[in-house]
Amino acid sequence: MSLPQPVRGTHDLLPEEFARHAHVQGTAREMAARFGYAEMATPIFEFTEVFARTMGESSDVVSKEMYSFESRSGESMTLRPEYTAGICRAFISNGLQQNVPFKVFAAGPMFRYERPQKGRQRQFHQIDVECIGAAEAKADIEVVALGAAILDALGVMEKCTLEINTLGDTESRQAYRAALVDYFNDHKSSLSQDSLDRLTRNPLRILDSKDKGDRVIVEQAPIFTDYLNSYSSDFFDEVLEGLSLLGIEYHLNRRLVRGLDYYTHTAFEFVTTALGAQGAVIAGGRYDGLIETLGGKPTPGIGWAGGIERLAMLADEAPAAVRPVALIPVGEEADAVAAKLAHQLRKDGISIEMAFKGNVGKRMKRANKLNARAAILIGEDELVRDVCTLRDLDQGEQSEVPLASLSSALRRLL
């Protein structure tokens, strides 16, 4: 009989890797709080239409990658493939329109059926930031700055490049879309089938094509900034000036776009080549039309998502685990005393490791394996005198300590 294995595209987060994930989440959580972003969470599954509306029925995620299922009541449900749609749905369904700007941070697992690859599994994890209800360029600057602050705190900012572009307002986008359709219609005979399909539905997505033939055509395609009206141009200039004021370096990427119509103005990605081929570790943009797409009142918004797996691979080592203190009773009578003592010391905030069985030698070996900072030995002789032997495992020194003052002695040692 074969041994059970995890489902393809999933893997177990064992303690060492989990610590790296927790380091990324904890760092992001702390930075988000400094910027005034409160933490929240949405359900892991939503009605399918939440994602179908926001990500587009024809998008690869909706048509090929979502984990959807029918509930017992016959309704279509989907495991969340991203956080933004669920948070915007929560904004609407909880009547938070009066709480703007609604600034939130979230972290958790996402699900997409795609080919497993380095840093991306079918169950993967993201950190997410959303600022809903702020139309000002200052919100774009703050959201990008928060991403940069998290990367800097993780020690990976020097490995990343901020790429940024503008998608303009609705008027600018429509003008650009028309120019793209005219251009790609002149090259229809050379486009891939996927791009031909996108030409009628969503021509901007052709700019993201990975087909080599398409890439050659895209190189000569019109550039978005040539179709910006004055308002859109001024808005983008304010964003760039704000980033420069904060000392955040950026690279203008005129080919960086978002395919769906509710995206406007700022689009950005923090990308790296430290994991092989260039890939985004944080990606986001302004989505002023998204809330309305979900059925809410027109409400501006901007946010980003970051891949925890990729950030964990890039980041500095997670802080070392707390080194425990090994409590080693010698004899049955000492077992009961040690159990009560361990309970009290843990209440006092001290990490105590007490093996369930084994002689002193085996328990000391376990203490060393766990990298214990110290060991407490209690035997019959110590019990009579209400003391214990405290052994400093780093220095190799030991002394007798009254049980009544053991907590204080451990605090000084640790």
Q: Which CATH number covers residue 367?
A: 3.40.50.800
Whether 308 and 338 share a structural domain = no
How far apart are the C-alpha atoms of 51 and 407, rounded to whole Å?
A: 54
Task: Compute CA distances 393 → 49, 265, 321, 396, 407, whole Å.
Answer: 59, 59, 17, 5, 17
Whether 263 and 404 share a structural domain = no
How far apart are the C-alpha atoms of 370 and 355, rounded to whole Å?
A: 11
Could you give the number of structural domains in the chain? 2
Whether 140 and 23 share a structural domain = yes
82 is in an annotated binding site: yes
Domain of residue 42, residue span: 15-169+229-314
Whether 306 and 334 share a structural domain = no
373 is in an annotated binding site: no
- Phi, psi (5° rounding) for residue 208? -95, 0
Is this model's pTM higher than 0.85 or not? yes
Q: Quick check: is 84 in a domain?
A: yes
Could you report the per-residue pLDDT of 186-210, keeping only the tens digit for each?
888 888 888 888 887 778 888 878 8
Q: Quick check: is 198 in a domain?
A: no
- Cα-based torsion angle of the residue sequence 109, 112, 115, 121 in order, rounded to the nearest 10 degrees: 0
130 is in an annotated binding site: yes
205 is in an annotated binding site: no
Could you report the per-residue pLDDT of 115-159, keeping only the tens digit for each?
877 667 899 999 999 999 999 999 999 999 999 999 999 999 999
83 is in an annotated binding site: yes
Q: Quick check: is 74 in a domain?
A: yes
**Domain end: 314, 334, 353, which one?**
314
Q: Which amino acid is it at 236? A: F
Whether 263 and 362 share a structural domain = no
Whether 134 and 60 share a structural domain = yes
CATH number of the domain bearing residue 137: 3.30.930.10
126 is in an annotated binding site: yes
Q: Quick check: is 3 in a domain?
A: no
**Domain end: 283, 314, 345, which one?**
314
Whether 123 and 255 share a structural domain = yes
Name the band, by pLDDT with cuts 50, 70 and 90, for residue 263.
Answer: confident
Whether 335 and 310 share a structural domain = no
Whether 146 and 57 share a structural domain = yes
84 is in an annotated binding site: yes
How far apart are the C-alpha atoms of 135 and 123, rounded to whole Å?
A: 33
Q: Which of 115-124, 160-169, 185-194, 371-380 has the lowest mean pLDDT?
A: 115-124
Q: Looking at residue 62, what is its pLDDT?
A: 63
Residue 58 has pLDDT above 60, yes or no: no
Whether 26 and 88 share a structural domain = yes
Q: Quick check: is 135 in a domain?
A: yes
Q: Quick check: is 178 in a domain?
A: no
**Domain end: 314, 336, 369, which one?**
314
Q: Quick check: is 184 in a domain?
A: no
Could you report the per-residue pLDDT of 322-347, keeping only the tens digit for each?
899 999 998 888 888 999 999 999 99
Q: Quick check: is 156 in a domain?
A: yes
